[in-house]
Amino acid sequence: WNKIRKDCESVDTSSIQRSFVNHVYSTLARTPYNLDEFGAYQAAAHSVRDQLIHKWISTQQHFTRSNPKRVYYLSLEFLMGRTMQNCVINMDMEEAYSKALREMGLAFETLYDQETDAALGNGGLGRLAACYMDSLATLDYPALGYGLRYTYGIFEQRIRNGEDQVEYPDYWLRFTNPWEVARVDVAYPVGFYGSVHNDSAGRAGQPGQPAARWEPAEFVQAVAYDVPIPGYDTDTVLNIRLWSSKPQRQFDLSSFNDGEYEKSVAEKQRAENITSVLYPNDNTPAGKELRLKQQYFFVCATLQDILRRFSKLNLPWSELPNKVGIQLNDTHPSLGIVELQRVLVDEHGLEWDIAWALVQRVYAYTNHTVLPEALECWPVSLMERLLPRHMRIIFDINLYFLRSVEQRFPGDYERLRRMSIIEEGHQQMVRMAYLAVVGSHTVNGVARIHSDLVRSKLFRDFAEFYGDDKFVNITNGITPRRWLHVANPQLSALITKRLGSNRWLKDLTELSRLKAFADDEDFQQEWRQVKRTRKESLAEYIQKHVDTAGEGPVNSEALFDVQVKRIHEYKRQLMNILGVVHRYLRIKEASAEERRDIVPRVFIFGGKAAPGYHTAKLIIKLINRVKNVINADPDAELRKLIRVVYIPNYSVTLAERIIPASDISEHISTAGTEASGTSNMKFVLNGGLLIGTRDGANVEIAEHIGGWDLAFEFGAKAEEVDDLRNKVRYLRPEIHPAFRRVVEAIKSGQFGDSSPFVNMLDRLVSDGDYYLITVDFPSYPEAQERVDAAYKDQKKWTRMSIENCAGMGFFSADRSVQDYAKKIWGINPCPPPPSK
């Protein structure tokens, strides 16, 4: 066996070719004569997958033998993007595959484009989970990701009539997915609804009290699909286990006999519904029963899997926290806290307090937003119906928790009301964030300013009760493998050449050595050449794939100004497009003389709006209206100076194209609202500069690159925001004339029928400017002028660009996961034994 297996693992040219041809014939049932590019991609993918699986089995066996504490990363989203190129690069097989296929007349690199993104996430939170898996694998941590295998990922966005977002289903599994392994042997039952027995006192698990028995009324099955994740330059291959819902039993024959065939098919449909669609909301909870079902389905299956693994060790329950750490990626999986308590008390007979102490030592919770409307709350009535036993456990958790608060702060009922996991009111609600805080040993925010707000505002009472140490910061990071090496091979090669090795790919702080060359003439020229190449390639993409209504190619000599991210009021794409209008009006009235001084700009927008988020969709409409008018302006000279592009269907793969081409990117959220941002890190790593507020990770990026002289800062500070909000609301300060003029231009119909926008704009200039666009506006165009001035001096600009990149070492996801491992999980790397 071993000898044959070794044979299968070899990646010399002829083995790769044999494996490729074998997959063409026996996996795809095709021949060289009818093999199109997609078929070639599929065969190549299956061949790469074979390699992955060997290393993956070895890794899992090694973990089983070494038996270290493991961390389980629970996330309802994994925004993976494409896999093939990342895989062969991480496993150092790109050249081998390239050569083997080239000999057969195929260009391996052109096959990458055949792959569809795995888009099982909305934005930052889901992409973060994907970056962390890459880093955990690269650093050989004994980790396992858990998620859901949605049949439909994030919707496909198209722009209708040149202005409105419409959503299309993303049926990404249409042509099967070579990167998953169906585990029909790994399946667990998950129950819903029903009733609770033997719990008369509601004190199950208390000394002398019988455990409760939950009798669910409906069962479905969770079936595992495994996705292997190779580390870079290591043999470790981790696993993401995605659950898919299936009907519990096959067709019930008696329903056939009763002539209830249709009913039984409908039941099957209902079961499969649970994992059918990713909820397309980002930062606004949906409150839908199916979403709660997804969440419970997820944690119920995941905990059965984790506890089955633990039970094989034959250890006492007291050992659980020494073998299992569970990280909750936001509150979405926080029912896991309740489920573990239920399993320990009801199914294994542990006493309540003993079980609860274990639960708290197992879980840790990452908060990703402080926006109040984004905090998940579930109606007690819904929870009671869907998960009756869990609802009682939540009430008990809350009761014991509030008793301990009352002991510390006797008689402070206002505090008890504030801290209660149950929000009283017209409709009782479960505050999932509070449940997550109470059930975890550590809570972290995702950038320093955000973690400070989490501790001092969002969970202030809890920090007072538990002590500040429970609340820590882990600044987000990104994987330099995908976001520099794969996305920007030209820049990666240049950096490797200049540093003399590619060690920076595993130790990103190596980049700091680039600082020494920031003024080096030759290096500067090569650096600029890379950026030029990437801008030309994006211009080409736009020409080919974006509806430009015959406007001609974008000028790749112009400054590329990019804002790509989910559309949300707090991210202020609205302020960006109003700034564009301001600039347009200024250029229109400028003399020929003055125009010679203007830096040509291309404004590039991209991003999806949640389908039900009316204002976000209106902002997309406005961006496109402004775009259509500016790009069609009769003044040809003006059109050379300003151009607007909306790239539809922003995705991981598009990000890999767009980010390396950016000169300046916009991270302009109202201070205190963007938890971290991660695209800011990706842009700077690729030598793009930032314009932004003192928000999220912008603050730390500025520090690490050498201060705000190397980036363009504007706007109010987080500490000022509360006062400013009161000011715009009650005192209505004077609106800046430049801002008024922009609003008037839109209302006058210069960009078509203004009626859809009137409300949104009037709100800004009356008392509804919650995100302080009018307050930050004057300083925003001012900062843009500083951008222009800096760009005119290409030497200075290039120096800034190099220094920006050189300062990014800290923002590697490798550093982030090491922080988690040390500060939160208490786990160590478990590297594979050197292969003989």
Give min distance, CB of 125 to ligand 26V, in A.
Answer: 3
Give min distance, CB of 609 to ligand 26V, in A.
Answer: 14
Give min distance, CB of 145 to ligand 26V, in A.
Answer: 15
Residue 216 binds ligand 26V (CB under 6 A): no
Please identify, among the stretches 369-377, 458-466, 634-642, 759-767, the one whose residues bind ligand 26V according to the rule CB under 6 A. Answer: 369-377
SS (HEC) of 670-689: CCCCCCCCCHHHHHHHCCCE
Give Cα separations from 394 to 202, 383, 400, 471, 554 (angstroms): 11, 10, 10, 22, 57
Exposure on the CB side of residue 666, measured as CA atoms within 13 A? 32
Residue 446 binds ligand 26V (CB under 6 A): yes
Give Cα separations from 131 to 55, 126, 407, 748 (angstroms): 20, 9, 43, 46
Give min distance, CB of 366 to ligand 26V, in A.
Answer: 7
Q: How buried is residue 165: exposed, middle or buried, by Cβ count under 10 Å (0-12/13-18/19+)? A: buried
Please identify, among the stretches 210-218, 281-289, 732-740, 750-758, the one whose residues bind ligand 26V according to the rule CB under 6 A. Answer: 281-289
Residues 285-324 that bind ligand 26V (CB under 6 A): 285-286, 291
The stretches of 546-613 forming alpha helices (DSSP H) are 573-589, 592-595
SS3 category, 241? strand
Q: Which residue is nearest to ligand 26V (CB)?
A: 124
- Let me know: does 140 contact 146? Beta carbons within 8 Å: no
Give Cα separations from 813 to 82, 235, 483 (angstroms): 18, 19, 11
Residue 694 binds ligand 26V (CB under 6 A): no
565 annotated active-site: yes
1: its two tokens: 């066996």
Phi-psi region of 314 (alpha: psi -120 to 50; beta: other; left: phi over 0): left
Q: Which of 82, 566, 639, 799 is catalytic?
A: 566
Residues 456-515 that bind ligand 26V (CB under 6 A): 476
571 annotated active-site: yes
Give min distance, CB of 485 to ligand 26V, in A.
Answer: 22
Residues 558-617 that bind ligand 26V (CB under 6 A): none
338: its two tokens: 């309740």
Give min distance, CB of 229 to ligand 26V, in A.
Answer: 19
Residue 675 binds ligand 26V (CB under 6 A): yes
**First-to-final CA distance of the chain:** 16
Give backbone dihedrals phi and psi of 112, rounded to 5 degrees, phi first: -50, -40
- The only residue of 74, 79, 90, 123 in contact with ligand 26V, by rule CB under 6 A: 123
Nearer to ligand 26V, 39 or 124 (CB): 124
Please identify, among the stretches 280-288, 418-426, 452-460, 535-543, the one whose residues bind ligand 26V according to the rule CB under 6 A. Answer: 280-288
- Let me know: does 563 contact 680? Beta carbons within 8 Å: no
Residue 279 binds ligand 26V (CB under 6 A): yes
Q: What is the DSSP string of 337-368?
A: HHHHHHIIIIIT---HHHHHHHHHHHEEEE--
Q: Which of 368, 568, 625, 643 is catalytic?
A: 368
Q: Which of 571, 582, 601, 639 is catalytic?
A: 571
Nearer to ligand 26V, 581 or 659 (CB): 659
Residue 454 binds ligand 26V (CB under 6 A): no
Residue 281 binds ligand 26V (CB under 6 A): yes
Nearer to ligand 26V, 282 or 663 (CB): 282
Residue 677 binds ligand 26V (CB under 6 A): yes
Residue 674 binds ligand 26V (CB under 6 A): yes
Q: Which of 55, 682, 704, 799 is catalytic?
A: 682
Instruction: For residue 16, give the amino acid letter.
Output: I
Give Cα separations from 745 to 237, 582, 626, 633, 637 (angstroms): 57, 9, 11, 15, 21
Of residues 420, 454, 455, 418, the one with CA closest to residue 438: 420
Q: How far is it, in rounded angstroms, from Cα 372 to Cα 44?
A: 47
Residue 765 binds ligand 26V (CB under 6 A): no
- Let me know: does 476 contact 816? Beta carbons within 8 Å: yes
- The only residue of 145, 672, 696, 715 in contact with ligand 26V, by rule CB under 6 A: 696
Residue 59 binds ligand 26V (CB under 6 A): no
Give min distance, CB of 667 to ligand 26V, in A.
Answer: 10
Q: Which of 475, 479, 653, 678 is catalytic?
A: 678
Residue 701 binds ligand 26V (CB under 6 A): no
- The only residue of 55, 368, 534, 799 in contact with ligand 26V, by rule CB under 6 A: 368
281: its two tokens: 């909301």
Nearer to ligand 26V, 376 or 663 (CB): 376
Residue 125 binds ligand 26V (CB under 6 A): yes
Q: How far is it, in rounded angstroms, from Cα 166 to Cα 647?
A: 14
The residue ranges that bind ligand 26V (CB under 6 A) are 122-125, 128, 279, 281-283, 285-286, 291, 330, 368-369, 374, 376, 446, 476, 674-678, 696
Residues belonging to the active site: 368, 565-566, 571, 678, 682
